[in-house]
Structure 1
Amino acid sequence: MKKSGVLATLLPLVAADSDAANPQLRVAFHGDDGMMVSWNTFNHVPRPSVFWGKSKDHLTNIASSAVSVTYPTSTTYNNHVLIQGLKPDTTYYYLPAQLNEDTCYEPFNFTTSRRVGDKTPFSVAVVADLGTMGSEGLSTSAGKGVSSNNILRPGEKNTIDSLISSMPEYEFLWHVGDFAYADYWLKEEIQGYLPNTTVEEGYKVYESILNEFYNEMMPVTASRAYMVGPGNHEANCDNGGTTDKAHNITYGLSICMPGQTNFTGFKNHFRMPSDVSRGTGNFWYSWNSGMAHFIQLDTETDLGHGFIGPDEIGGTEGEGASPVNSKMNAQVNWLEADLKAVDRRKTPWVIVGGHRPWYLSYKNVTSTICWSCKDVFEPLFIKYDVDLVLTGHAHIYERQAPIAEGKIDPRELNNPTSPWYITNGAAGHYDGLDTLQSPRQQFSRFSLDTNNATYGWSKLTFHNSTHLTHEFVASNNNTVLDSATLYKSHKCEWLER
């Protein structure tokens, strides 16, 4: 694209680096008429700007902001610009002004969320625990101690490949925690997968893995809304729980650097629509699309895990921080208010996503099950008739029966009064899948773990106001290995108007 005089004045100088050709574009829904556009540059941008329009040949509108943020160890700045005044379910073309001058970019495009109450069927992709693929993450080889079941076979597609090839089949991507696994850098070095470096220089390896992840994801995230929530690997920097037995050292929080703690990168990289839904930062918020109301919850901060203080989660580590003063019950109070306000005549389906599960046939239950989450969230899910709860954290796939207070709903998927629970943390990262206990819990209905050596993602299809299908899509060949349909007798007056 030939730069106009205005465009040329808005473009900053950027460093000559291979990453400069990939601006890590990410878009996200922002209310009924907005879309947040985010991208990365090597330098601070005083006035991030996006040209946009309904035709790629006529980007006649411009949106700008003053948000260009970073943190001490980051190699890039995250720029965020909100485009408003958009029509629902409409495709727009856009191009950030501040991209690499040496690369000729064609305008990108996104499609806005469906009008609230739109009864047209649609599908959504959902992932958790999706890490970097390739030479710095999951590949056809691994370091010492990684099971042969947990590496890719030669020629096998990974989950990012699968999501890219399946893009026509879903309208947006929902990622419920654990992104690049950049904090695994030390484990990968100790196991001989990555070259050794000093701890002091470790942040460079961390940032390299992080940038590679967002580069790999860009074919999806530049055109499909990328809705996200926090996981433990955005905060606790456990380096994969690695122990160097030769030196009797366990590597963990003691060597974490800025960018690896307190959700720093997560807060900088994204701008979720919490201001529209009265939530908090990228941590808890909600949005609507068509016949569904989606809720992203935070299982990491104010429920006793101790990663950060509740007063810190609203701001960023970089410029433009907006601290939020919240109390320990802030999320629960918000959740009840949000659920109470849902108009089930327009959005009959209510879907909740959070990182940590509490119903699971997991082998290492103590370190995985979030009982505090169950204590505070489950009563509200039951009270307000939440339809489906999606989690990750355990690197397995398990579809459970609808459950309330530990009891299996006798109706199963035929109009249950209890929430349906599904855990899918099998998207794939450096050291792969985990092990489920045998025999499974009584509520288990279908499961896959390291013994099946299959990575995959979830696809939700909203057929109408009464039928919702969940599918586990195997990443290696895009086949469906598990499918189940929930029937709920939602009363939807809006469908008859």
Structure 2
Amino acid sequence: MLRAAVIVGVVAVLASVSSAAPVLEGRMTDSSSFDPPTQVHLALGDTAGASMVVSWITTNASAGHVYYGTSKDKLNTRVEQLADAERYTFQSTYGEHYVSGLIHHAKIPNLAPLTKYYYRCGADGFGYSDVFSFTTPPVVGTSKFIFSVIGDLGQTANSSSTIEHIKSDPTTNLTVIVGDLSYADSAERTTPTRNCTQRRWDSWGELVEHVFANQPLMTLPGNHEIEQEGPPPATQEKFLAYQKRFRMPWKESGATNGNLYYSFEVGPVHFIMLNSYMDFDKGSQQYEWLLQDLKKVDRSVTPWLFASMHAPWYNSNVFHHNEPEETGMRAAMEDIMFKHNVDAIFSGHVHAYERMFPVYKNKTNPEAPTYLNIGDAGNREGPAYLYFPQPKWSAYREPAFGHGRVEIFNATHAHWTWHKNLNSEATVSDDVWLVRNAAIPSSPYKHGLTPLFGRTFDGFAPYKSF
């Protein structure tokens, strides 16, 4: 196929459903019991996008539920938690003893595709959230779908610009974050090692709520989610906050390590979410899971196959160049990604945008995946400006903040755009067609044409005509 022009964790609370009419107290006046949800966010609740997980945090309200419906004024269906929420404790090597709020997860099942739902979460006697809404994704196997991709978000003014740009696009109903979310592990730089300040997770959750309470956020862990602070022996469980605060469909996709790696499907796409910071060598749990997941993909149903991990396999920036997680994972997995005709691979870690030509074993190859490095969403460490001389496999690179957008038109054509943050506006600075062969979904193109990269591909008309 010609590819391009161009989880140790908390088991989320499942839920039962009732249709009893709700009595919502809303903003209560009794301050002694007032404990409404904060940091509300969504994730797909299964591998096919037919359910939605609602996550939120309260101070003391251990019980909780979600009311939802297709009318803002008729939230008539109630989803109950099957277990109390839970806290986690983080003892910093350098003094901070943090106890989280109570973290809730509830799943809304059996949702209709391409339907707008309204919901609010909370608990009787403690108060409820505002009413949020989301639009469900298309049925697996349908052709059209649009989503955003970001990495290394953080919580700066640049971070805010990026998520506002995503929010302002009414056509996107899902965002993929390829790791490094809150940067809670780098809030204090005066200590011998990076001091984890877990309160930064709370401020991050509040920062992104207005976006990701209204569209699902599908994420994977980066190096800043490890949070195993201090010299050996480290005192904290790896990925502790990440595992507790999010609920991805890991169990539904056959994984056994919580949110650390998993897959899901939406419309015409099969997404694979991998972990650069746990064992990925041949024979490891993650590697064997990946093999089985790739074998299960039916390209006649989901013709597009995308993979993501935090540390990029190809990178011409001086920063994070050829780190062990990058070269090691590539050595272990590049062959099977190529064999199974993965169309594109998204990564972060490097705080600059870079798009590669289709590349395999350091050589351009039209049958290989297109690599897209998108670790430029706005983190506090700033853009990575230093580059090596541009390799032949590097198509476009720019050290600026922004976000990516993928618009899939059908089984053969998808349009990638990278939107740079420029004076608070999202300006398209790079765009390219990804083109594949639907007639032989699991095979590459063999027509011998030279791939072109740019605003059109192979003479095709602008994307709006598809």
Is TM-score (shorter-chain normalized) higher than 0.5? yes
- Matching residue of 2:52: 35
Report deviation, 1:492. Answer: 7.1
Is structure 2 residue 37 aligned with structure 1 residue 89?
no
Aligned mate of 1:478, from 405, 426, 431: 426
What are structure 1's unaligned runs of at least 5 residues? 140-156, 191-197, 239-251, 305-326, 410-415
Distance 2:387 2:432 in 1: 22
Cα shift at 1:122 = 2.5
Instruction: After TM superposition, list the pairs within 5 Å mapping 1:272-351 onto structure 2.
Output: 272-280=248-256, 281-303=258-280, 329-351=284-306
Pairwise CA RMSD: 3.0
Match of 1:423 in 2: 373
Cα deviation, residue 354, structure 1: 0.8
In the other structure, the counterpart of 1:226 is 217
Which residue in the other structure is 1:115 paired with? 139
Please state if 1:178 is matched with 2:180: yes
Asked if 1:51 corresponds to 2:67, the answer is: yes
Which one-letter code corresponds to 2:133 in the other structure? Answer: N
Deviation at 1:436?
3.8
CA 1:333–1:75 in structure 2 vs 1: closer, same or farther (change >3 Å)? closer
What secondary structure does 1:186 align onto? coil
1:384 alignment partner, one of 323, 327, 340:
340
* C-alpha spacing 1:469/1:85, structure 2 compared with 1 (3 Å): same
1:425-444 equivalence runs, <5 A: 425-444=375-394
- The structural deviation recorded for 1:105 is 4.7
Tell me whether 1:398 sits opposite 2:354 in the alignment: yes
Note the C-alpha offset of 1:97. 2.5
State the Cα deviation string for residues 370-400 of structure 1 (Å, max 9, x = none): 1111022211111111000000111111100
- Determine the structure 2 residue equivalent to 1:152: none
What's the counterpart of residue 162 of structure 1?
Answer: 165
Residue 469 in structure 1 maps to residue 445 in structure 2: no
- The structure with the greater share of residues assigned to helix is 1
Separation in 1 of the partners of 2:187 and 2:396? 33
Query: Percent identical across equivalent pairs?
Result: 31
How is 1:170-249 mapped onto 2 (pairs within 5 angstroms)? Answer: 170-187=172-189, 190=190, 206-236=197-227
Aligned-partner Cα distance in 1 for 2:22–2:87: 28
Deviation for aligned residue 1:254: 7.1
Task: Indicate whether 1:370 and 2:326 are aligned.
Answer: yes
SS at match of 1:394: coil
- In the alignment, which of 64, 80, 84 is matched to residue 80 of structure 2? 64
Q: 1:464 to 1:5 in 2, by over 3 A?
A: closer
CA distance in 2, matches of 1:352, 1:474: 23
Aligned equivalents of 1:173, 1:69: Cα separation in 2: 26
Shift of 1:369: 5.9
Residues 158 and 455, structure 1, Cα contact 8 Å, conserved in 2: no
CA contact (8 A) 2:36 2:58 kept: no
For 2:223 and 2:205, locate their aligned partners in 1 and report how far apart those are by CA, in whole Å.
18
The answer to whether the aligner puts 1:26 opposite 2:41 as a matched pair is: yes
- Give the superposition deviation at 1:293: 1.0
CA-to-aligned-CA distance 1:2-49 (integer Å, 9 cap, x gap): xx886569x9x98799xx67611111112232111101111251x321
Q: Secondary structure at the match of 1:375?
A: helix
Which residue, out of 123, 128, 141, partners 1:98?
123
Mean alpha-carbon deviation: is it higher for 21-30 or for 418-427?
21-30
Q: Which amino acid aligns with 2:408?
A: F
User: Partners in 2 of 1:15 and 1:399 — Cα distance?
Assistant: 53
Q: CA deviation at 1:491?
A: 2.2
Supply the distance in 2 between the matched residues of 1:288 and 1:303 (Cα, whole angstroms): 22
Aligned with 1:275: secondary structure? coil
Query: Any idea what the Cα deviations from partners look like across 1:101-146, whole Å, max 9, x if unmatched?
Result: 57x7542111222101112x33111111110125xxx69xxxxxxx
> Following superposition of structure 1 onto structure 2, how do residues 264-275 of structure 1 map, counting pairs within 5 Å?
264-275=240-251
Partner of residue 143, structure 1: none
TM-score normalised per structure 1 = 0.74
Code of the residue aligned with 2:369 in structure 1: it is P
The CA distance in 2 between the partners of 1:171 and 1:381, in whole Å, is 27
In the aligned structure 1, how far is the partner of 2:304 from the partner of 2:417?
17
The Cα of 1:444 is off from its aligned counterpart by 0.6
Counterpart of 1:263 in structure 2 is: 239
For 2:56 and 2:166, the matched residues in 1 are separated by: 20
Deviations 1:452-490 (A, max 9, x none): xx2101111112111112111112311101111111112
What CA distance in whole angstroms lies between the structure 2 residues aligned with 1:100 and 1:176?
A: 38
8 Å contact kept, 1:179–1:233: yes
Change (3 A) 1:8 1:477: closer
How far, CA to CA, are the matches of 1:105 and 1:26 in structure 2? 11
Q: Would you say the 8 A contact 1:44–1:69 is kept in 2? A: no
TM-aligned CA deviation for residue 362 of structure 1: 2.1
Shift in Å at residue 423 of structure 1?
Answer: 0.8
The DSSP-based 3-state class of the residue aligned with 2:359 is strand
Shift of the 29–425 alpha-carbon distance from structure 1 to 2, 3 Å rule, reads same
For 1:385 and 1:28, locate their aligned partners in 2 and report how far apart those are by CA, in whole Å.
27
How many residue pairs get aligned? The number is: 403
Q: How does 1:132-147 map to 2 (within 5 A)?
A: 132-134=155-157
Residue in 2 that maps onto 1:131: 154
**Deviation, structure 1 residue 162:** 2.1
1:355 aligned residue: 310
Q: Does 1:79 align with 2:82?
A: no
Gaps of 5+ in 2: 1-20, 90-97, 442-466
Equivalent residue letter for 2:112: K
Q: Which amino acid aligns with 2:161?
A: N
